[in-house]
Amino acid sequence: MKFNKILAFAAAFTALAACSSNQIIEDFESGLEKWTIEGDSFEISNASEELSGFEGFSYLRSSSDDSKVGSAVSQPFQIKSDYINLLVAGPKSSMGRSALSVSLVVDGEDVLASGSIGKDEKTFEWLSFDAAMYKGKTAQIKLTAGEPMRFGTRTFPRGFIAVDQIQQGKQRLSSFYPEYKVSVKVDKKYILIPAANNGSNSRLSVMVDDQNILGIAQSAKPATDRIDYYIPVNVEKYSGKTVDVILTNIYEEDMVFGAIKTSDEMMNEYNEQYRPLVHYSPEFGWTNDPNGMVFTPQGEWHLSLQYNPYGTSHGNMHWGLATSKDLIHWTDTPAIIAPDELGSIFSGSAVVDHDNTAGFGKDAIVAIYTSAGQGQRQSIAYSTDGGYTFTKYDKNPVLADPEQRDFRDPKVNRIGDQWVMALAVGQVVRFYGSPDLKNWSLLSDFGTGMGSHAGVWECPDLMCFDYNGQKKWVLFVSINPGGPNGGSITQYFIGDFDGKRFKADPLPYPLWVDEGVDNYAGVTFNNTTGRTVFMGWMSNWSYTGQTPTLAFRNSMTLPRDLSLKSNGKHLILSSVPSPEVYAARAAERAIEGVSSSQSFSIPSILENNKGAYEIDATITPDAKGEFTLTLSNSKGENAVFCFDTKSQKLSLDRSKSGNVDFSASFAQKPVVVSLNPRNEYKIQMFVDRLSTELFINDGDMVFTNCVFPSEVFNKFDIASSNCKISVKDVKVYELK
Ligand code: FRU
């Protein structure tokens, strides 16, 4: 014990000698009487095995018990040097850790604060406050361990903070910047910030004339040891001005340090390996649900989307916007609705207010979305320029229910003489009615005891079809998790809607809009008279955060026209490729089929195959049995679709489809679904680099699944083991 003490003393002495210009403000070796302690969280801790890197024997530490909250404030001292350096352990950046902070208080006000520091929370690391501008002033160090952070009903664990060896001196002892600020003279279109999927968790602000042009600070992942992509911040509007880019939680040794630059290009390779060619994917950033899809009065297709403009994972939810004249080729435009004090912008819809019911103007496009902040509430925004820029309504939110935690994804349609909103509320769909899109009253609830409740209910849509002269209504409800093959999936109900209440026909629910695992949160475009056009998000919540793309993540399905048809037993929803899809066919190749054979092969689907194509064929098995459709490449990777007409199952094995290890839930098990027995199977297989969409028998069924082969699949085989097959009407199209 004595020996240890001497050793530790020697170590402390050496450290002191090494930086003799440092003036110690506090080393916690002699109690806490100079500190003001509030609450029951902070106390002196003595050397223990738990933490390392402190000096001497003791340090100040808050409790790890989140129920103990409080603060510790040092006695005042005068700032005489450029830097205040202190050793800190504990608060590594994460949601819950924002309840911990260490700050420099000057003349009674917090002027510099760090909520996060540390590559490893158990090791003390230097934190340096740049205090040069406060020289001569009186300062204090303040630590806080606050109430754990809550978001909705979730509570984020907080943990502890510890400090030691507070001193001031000429040198910055830390390579860590709680706030890293770079001033950039705007001479080009974009400021580019190097970032990576394994980057640090940081908050990004871009300040022009004291205003954050991002609205509020956004989360970002600046590059530490590799660069996956550049975050493009469009600063065109501020040409000639000086913009301050501020990132939190950066180390000098991080790759982003000193590497923020300007450019007229986005600097992200558009044509990266898995970039779809005929499906919408954002040029940069993350997308999930399609939102606010509308055919505008100006004749354009507008696809808004759940969008993160500052990274490739879910977060900073905005509504992005892509526009198209042909439903296939899309142009990104700047995000149209950004997060605000009411919260992130979650899913919703857009309508054309032909009769100016809301008072925003005739034919105004009104977006109805969920503000997801402290609770979920519905807000609106309107556009009078054909859907390119939106103004938020100044009395948002327009619909709230503090009792409800999951209260989101408003889909609004004009039904009769009112607007009807379908909203996901916990485990039901709630319908609200409104004369003006601003005042909403409850009409009814649907869903208790109906369909699948294996996950939370999300993204409803109510649509009306004409079936043999009769009006029938279909209600979509997405669920996550709980899909029969894992993760997220969309179910539907068929029934009647009387303007107030939806009543489902007795059918063998759950029924799925798409049997595959990669079509979620899909809804239909508004303002498409005479047709019902659908698009879904082509991914699955169970692995979407890990899929192997770089500058963008996720794409949408092909547009599909929906209708009702009979499957011989009852009505079902039919999805077929929208006619616009066929306009993307570039080169057509007819291929001779086979009759009564065990195999059929297209050894080279396309010369110079860029990855987007359609294969059509009609396959007739001569008896009940199994036949497979295999897409493969020269590396031996494949995706095998098996039609088992005996057990009436269709499956997809993607275990050898290429890049599969990014998530255990991606390919461990085959995707297995029911197959309607038919004499012949007319298939349309659409492949677009990372996706396969298999349409069977003109809307009988659709099966959408992603794959990530390391080389384009350019070979297609049909093979049967226990029956013979005839294959006819074979066509291959390149899609462009
Ligand atoms: C569905 C969903 C919606 C929500 C949005 C958030 O995928 O969870 O319920 O509004 O994503 O991004």
Structure tokens at 562: 């929906």
- What pLDDT does 17 receive? 40
By DSSP bridging, strand 202-208 and strand 218-220 are: antiparallel
Higher pLDDT, 83 or 150: 83
Q: How many residues does the chain have?
A: 736
Phi and psi at 8, nearest 5°, equal: -60, -40
Q: Which atom of ligand 1 is nearest to the CA of 347?
A: 10
Closest to 670 in 3D by CA, of 538, 505, 486: 486
In testing the pocket of ligand 1, which one of 288, 349, 376 has its CB within 8 Å of the most ligand atoms? 288
Distance 346 CA to ligand 1 centre (A): 6
How far apart CA 384 and CA 653 sit, in angstroms, is 49
Which three-class secondary structure state does DSSP give residue 728? strand
Structure tokens at 699: 């809307």
> Distance (Å, rounded) from C-alpha 401 to C-alpha 378?
10
Q: Is 521 in the pocket of ligand 1 (CB under 6 A)?
A: yes
Q: Does the annotation mark 717 as catalytic?
A: no
pLDDT in tens, 247-305: 998 999 999 999 999 999 999 999 999 999 999 999 999 999 999 999 999 999 999 99
Q: Could you tell me if the CB of 408 is within 6 A of ligand 1?
A: yes
The vertex-127 CA angle with 121 and 131, nearest 5°, equals 160
CA nearest 294: which of 412, 416, 422?
412
Contact call for residues 167 and 15 (beta carbons, < 8 A) = no
**Cα 461 to ligand 1 centre (Å):** 14
d(C-alpha 603, C-alpha 714), whole Å:
7
Atom of ligand 1 lying closest to residue 370 CA: 10
CA 459 to ligand 1: nearest atom: 9
Within 8 A by CB and 6+ apart from 678, the residues are 697, 700
Average pLDDT estimate for 632-636: 98
User: Which is it for strands 552-553 and 285-295: parallel, antiparallel or unpaired?
Assistant: parallel
Q: How far apart are CA 567 and CA 572, in angstroms?
A: 6
Residue 461 and residue 411 in contact, taking contact as beta carbons nearer than 8 Å = yes
- Ligand 1 geometric centre to CA of 458 (Å): 7
Query: Does the CB atom of residue 371 touch ligand 1 within 6 A?
Result: no
- The protein residue with its alpha carbon nearest to ligand 1, atom 12, reads 346
**Cis before 397 (ω within 30):** yes
Does any ligand 1 atom lie closer than 6 A to the CB of residue 306? yes
d(CA 151, CA 95): 10
Alpha-carbon gap, residue 540 to 301, rounded angstroms: 25
Instruction: For a ligand 1 pocket test, name from 219, 347, 378 the mutation site with the most ligand atoms within 8 angstroms of its C-beta.
Output: 347
> What is the four-CA torsion angle of 694, 494, 481, 423, rounded to 10 degrees?
120
Q: Which residue has the tokens 């009792």?
A: 403
Instruction: Please report the pLDDT score of residue 152 as a whole number.
Output: 59
Tokens of 156: 């984020």
3-class DSSP state of 47: coil
Strand, coil or helix: what is 667? helix
Query: Which of 286, 304, 306 should be mutated for ligand 1, with most atoms under 8 A from CB?
Result: 306
289 CB near ligand 1 (under 6 Å): yes
Residues linked to residue 190 through DSSP beta bridges, in sequence order: 234, 263
How many angstroms does the Cα of residue 532 sit away from the middle of ligand 1? 22
**Distance, CA 457 to ligand 1 centroid (Å)?**
10
**pLDDT at 16 (0 to 100):** 43
Q: What is the rounded end-to-end Cα distance, in angstroms, of the chain?
A: 77
DSSP state of 14: H
Of the candidates 73, 69, 53, the one whose C-alpha atom is nearest the C-alpha of residue 158 is 69
What's the count of helices (H) and strands (E) in the chain, helices before strands?
3, 57
> Residue 26, SS3?
strand
Residue 48: pLDDT over 80:
no
- Whether 694 contacts 685, CB under 8 Å: yes
Reply yes or no on whether the pLDDT at 431 is more than 90: yes
Q: What is the amino acid identity at position 488?
A: S
347 CA from centroid of ligand 1 (Å): 6
Q: Is residue 461 pLDDT above 80, yes or no?
A: yes
| Residues ≥6 apart with Cβ < 8 Å to 701 | 515, 650, 675, 676, 695
Residue 300: is it exposed, middle or buried by C-beta count within 10 angstroms (0-12/13-18/19+)?
middle
Mean pLDDT score, 195-215: 95
Between the CA of 682 and the centroid of ligand 1 the distance, in Å, is: 34
Lowest-confidence pick of 28-32, 522-526, 660-664: 28-32
What is the pTM assigned to this prediction?
Answer: 0.90
pLDDT tens for residues 659-690? 999 999 999 999 999 999 999 999 999 999 99
554 C-beta closer than 6 A to ligand 1? no
What is residue 714's three-state secondary structure?
Answer: coil
pLDDT exceeds cutoff 80 at 713: yes
In the chain, what are the helix, strand and coil shares in percent, each to the nearest 5? 5, 50, 45
Mean pLDDT over 691-704 rounds to: 97
pLDDT value at 20 more than 80:
no
* DSSP code, position 134: G
- pLDDT confidence tier of residue 47, bands split at 50, 70 and 90: confident
Torsion of the alpha carbons at 273, 278, 279 and 285, rounded to the nearest 10: 50
Catalytically annotated residue among 27, 82, 228, 289:
289
Mean pLDDT for all residues in the chain:
94
- Of 215, 247, 432, 245, nearest to 345 by C-alpha is 215
Which backbone phi and psi does 241 adopt, to 5 degrees? Answer: -90, 170
pLDDT category of residue 7 using cuts at 50, 70 and 90: very low
**Residue 314 CA to ligand 1 centre (angstroms):** 10
**Separation of CA 521 and ligand 1 centre (Å):** 8
Cis peptide preceding 481, ω within 30 of 0: yes
The finding on whether 347 has its CB within 6 A of some atom of ligand 1 is yes
CA nearest to 300, candidates 331, 324, 336: 324
Cβ burial, residue 240 (10 Å; 0-12/13-18/19+): exposed
Per cent of the chain over pLDDT 90 is: 91
Q: Provide, rounded to the nearest whole percent, the portion of the chain with pLDDT above 70.
A: 97
Evaluate: CB of 317 within 6 angstroms of ligand 1.
Answer: yes
Residue 11: the pLDDT is 38
Determine the average pLDDT of the residues in 366-372: 98
pLDDT tens digits, one per residue of 114-154: 877 878 899 999 999 999 999 999 999 999 999 998 765 67
Using the atom order of ligand 1, give the atom closest to the CA of residue 348.
10
Nearest Cα residue to atom 9 of ligand 1: 458
Pairwise CA distance, residues 30 & 536, whole Å: 64
Query: Which ligand 1 atom is nearest residue 541's CA?
Result: 7
DSSP one-letter string for 234-280: E-GGGTTSEEEEEEEEEETTSTTTT--EEESS--S-TT-TT--SSS-
Which backbone phi and psi does 9 adopt, to 5 degrees? -65, -45
Q: Which ligand 1 atom is at minimum distance from the Cα of 488?
A: 7
Measuring CA to CA, which residue among 422, 417, 423, 421 is closest to residue 435? 417
State if residue 411 touches ligand 1 by the CB under 6 angstroms criterion: no
User: Would you state the structure tokens that stand for residue 227, as one six-digit string?
Assistant: 């660069």
The Cα 351–Cα 436 span in angstroms is 12
Bridge pairing between strands 428-434 and 441-446: antiparallel
What tokens appear for 174 in the block? 């830390």
